[in-house]
Structure 1
Amino acid sequence: EMAVSLSLQSLGLVLLAAILLQTIAVAVSFVYFNRVLSTMQETFSRSSVSCLINANLRSDVENSSEEKKGDPCWQVTQQLHHHLEKTMADRFQKEISTAMRNEMTGAEPSRTSGVRGVPLPKVAAHVTGVVSSTEPPTADGNDPLISRGYLGERIREWEGHRGLSFLENMELRGGELLVPRAGLYYIYGQTYFRLPSSGEAEGGEEEAQLVQYIYKKMSSYTVPILLMKSSRSACWPRGPEPGLFSLHQAGTAFLQPADRLFVTVSNVSAMEMDGRASYFGAFLVG
């Protein structure tokens, strides 16, 4: 019985020693392979960075010979080049598609005001001459300048809804455009004149002074403020045909809510109120 007991103890010690040796071998192998893997990763990273630093992507792509295709550096730069090319092509295609869609639908790119990313509301107006009227535009009479506060004769009849005219977030009252929002506005106007023939009378040709004014009227100030002025001298025609002349002007001005814009001319009775020749407008730009 003692012999059997000794044999079992010896067998247990042998098995324990074998397990211990196997554990040590696994631990040593794990440490060894872990170091080898770390060394390989570091070497690959350094080589990849070196490829990116020293490589010329364009020349590498153009000179893609059979010898270079087996070079790891060439493969890295080739993959990077394709990735950059695909990213840029996708972005360019997206921008082109958006621009084409806006062009087809008539949409305008969003404008921004002082706050980045905040769209600027559409505020615009284009009013035209009243083509249906056979009478000359309504004038203010012969009131002196001191009682009116402005030069010329006011044009009180504009069309704001038909033909080429439109009003977007602006109102037209008595020939005046009402400003709804503070900001920088682009203001423009054109007036068209038809001067009748003076005949073959003696005394030579006479000159007519044609002047166009654009005024701003503020609620806090009683006298209108002259924003811009355009003028020219025209000779009265002597032949059978009338003389045709136009005045055009445009500019920018900072306007406040409730400001009013209106147009005056020196010879309102000679105006041709064709909507394509006589017009007036403004729109918010910033």
Structure 2
Amino acid sequence: MPRMGRQDSECSTSPLDPDMSKTDYREPSCALSRVCMTVFCVVLLVCSLAAAVGLVCTWLSFSQKIANLKRDYEKFDELQGWERNSENISALVDEALQKYLAERDHVEVGPPLPSAWASGRDRPMAHLTGNPEPNHYPKREENEVVKIRTWETEHGLATLANGMEYNRGNLVIPADGLYYVYSQLSYRFRNDLPEDSDKEERVFQIIHYTYRRNSYPEPKQIMKTAKSTCWSKRVEFGLYTSFQGGVFQLQKGNRVWVSVSNAPLICFDETSSFFGAFMLY
């Protein structure tokens, strides 16, 4: 029995402390929880950062697309605006043209031109020049008006084209239309009086006419230039140039010519005296 008591004493152990027992088993569990919580927070933070980066990238991409769409819309709007402006300009041009045509219709311009004269290159024209050789006009009364019948039509600067005809001083109009008619005459007077002569200086009336004849028997004066001039005894020559021009409604078959007073005084050089007409439309 004493041995048994000794064995009991040797084999017996002191009872375990309940608190100590609980502490030994709970400490590993708390550490694991902290680790898990830390890992979870790190993962959550990484995911949040990734989500934030994704949102930023998405926002930047979306902003770029919005900017591109806005730029494309502005270009489209500008294109539409240009098209609208083009349409407005075209409408204004059409309106101005219609207004011009309406106003032109109120102007009496005679019958329409034949189709043969529609092209500008084919419009009738003539430029006749002075021909000094045959112009030996007999001396007449100084103020007597005579018709110039000896214009040059072929040589030098002279031109007669596209249906325009010439007949003894007359330009014969080949088609109805508006024509510009012009003529220039240069006067050159040689002074035969000596400087010490007792005679008075001579006074000349220089009158330059342009006539038109249509179906009526009497010609119609369409232009006139007149001047009374006096050349001094102190100069050898006296010079004067008379030019006239105008736009007239002429009809097929009309005749136009030039008449002058004091014809012997005219200098019939081709660059000094000339006569012409050409169709405007």
1:58-99 alpha-carbon deviations (Å, 9 max, x no partner):
xxxxxxxx98544142242355579899x9xxxxxxxxxxxx
More moved, 70-79 vs 157-166: 70-79
Deviation at 1:256, TM superposition (A): 2.1
- 1:214 aligned counterpart, secondary structure: strand
Q: Which residue of 1 aligns with 2:118?
A: 119
Q: Which residue of 2 aligns with 1:73?
A: 73
CA contact (8 A) 2:179 2:278 kept: yes
Q: Which residue of 1 aligns with 2:172?
A: 178
In the TM superposition, 1:34-49 aligns within 5 A as none
- The change in CA–CA distance for 1:82 and 1:183 in structure 2 (over 3 A counts) is closer
CA contact (8 A) 2:185 2:242 kept: yes
Q: Which residue of 2 aligns with 1:234?
A: 229
Deviation at 1:156, TM superposition (A): 0.9
User: How far apart, CA to CA, are the structure 2 residues paired with 1:159 and 1:191?
Assistant: 14
Percent identity between matched residues is 29
- 1:227 aligned counterpart, secondary structure: strand
User: How far apart, CA to CA, are the structure 2 residues paired with 1:223 and 1:139?
Assistant: 25
Whichever residue aligns with residue 159 of structure 1, its letter is: E
Kindly report the root-mean-square deviation, in angstroms, between the aligned alpha carbons of the 2 structures.
3.3
- 2:275 aligned counterpart, secondary structure: strand
Q: Which residue of 1 aligns with 2:129?
A: 128
Q: Which residue of 1 aligns with 2:149?
A: 156
In the TM superposition, 1:264-279 aligns within 5 A as 264-279=259-274
User: How far apart, CA to CA, are the structure 2 residues paired with 1:81 and 1:237?
Assistant: 74
Is 1:206 aligned to 2:199, yes or no?
no
Whichever residue aligns with residue 165 of structure 1, its letter is: A
User: How far apart, CA to CA, are the structure 2 residues paired with 1:224 and 1:188?
Assistant: 17
Whichever residue aligns with residue 243 of structure 1, its letter is: G
User: How far apart, CA to CA, are the structure 1 residues paired with 2:254 and 2:183?
Assistant: 17
1:175-209 alpha-carbon deviations (Å, 9 max, x no partner):
21111112222111110110111332224422211
Deviation at 1:152, TM superposition (A): 0.8
More moved, 175-184 vs 75-84: 75-84
TM-score (norm 1): 0.55
- 1:73 aligned counterpart, secondary structure: helix
- 2:264 aligned counterpart, secondary structure: helix
CA contact (8 A) 2:138 2:264 kept: no
- 1:158 aligned counterpart, secondary structure: coil
1:244-271 alpha-carbon deviations (Å, 9 max, x no partner):
1111111122222222111111011111
Whichever residue aligns with residue 129 of structure 2, its letter is: T
TM-score (norm 2): 0.56
Whichever residue aligns with residue 252 of structure 1, its letter is: V
- 2:73 aligned counterpart, secondary structure: helix
CA contact (8 A) 1:214 1:261 kept: yes
User: How far apart, CA to CA, are the structure 2 residues paired with 1:260 and 1:76?
Assistant: 64
- The change in CA–CA distance for 1:274 and 1:78 in structure 2 (over 3 A counts) is same
Matched positions, count = 185
Deviation at 1:221, TM superposition (A): 2.9
- The change in CA–CA distance for 1:193 and 1:80 in structure 2 (over 3 A counts) is same
Deviation at 1:165, TM superposition (A): 1.4
- The change in CA–CA distance for 1:82 and 1:160 in structure 2 (over 3 A counts) is same
User: How far apart, CA to CA, are the structure 2 residues paired with 1:158 and 1:234?
Assistant: 26
CA contact (8 A) 2:112 2:176 kept: no
- 1:211 aligned counterpart, secondary structure: strand
Q: Which residue of 2 aligns with 1:281?
A: 276
1:4-28 alpha-carbon deviations (Å, 9 max, x no partner):
xxxxxxxxxxxxxxxxxxxxxxxxx
Is 1:215 aligned to 2:208, yes or no?
no
Q: Which residue of 1 aligns with 2:187?
A: 193
CA contact (8 A) 1:177 1:261 kept: yes
- The change in CA–CA distance for 1:83 and 1:243 in structure 2 (over 3 A counts) is same
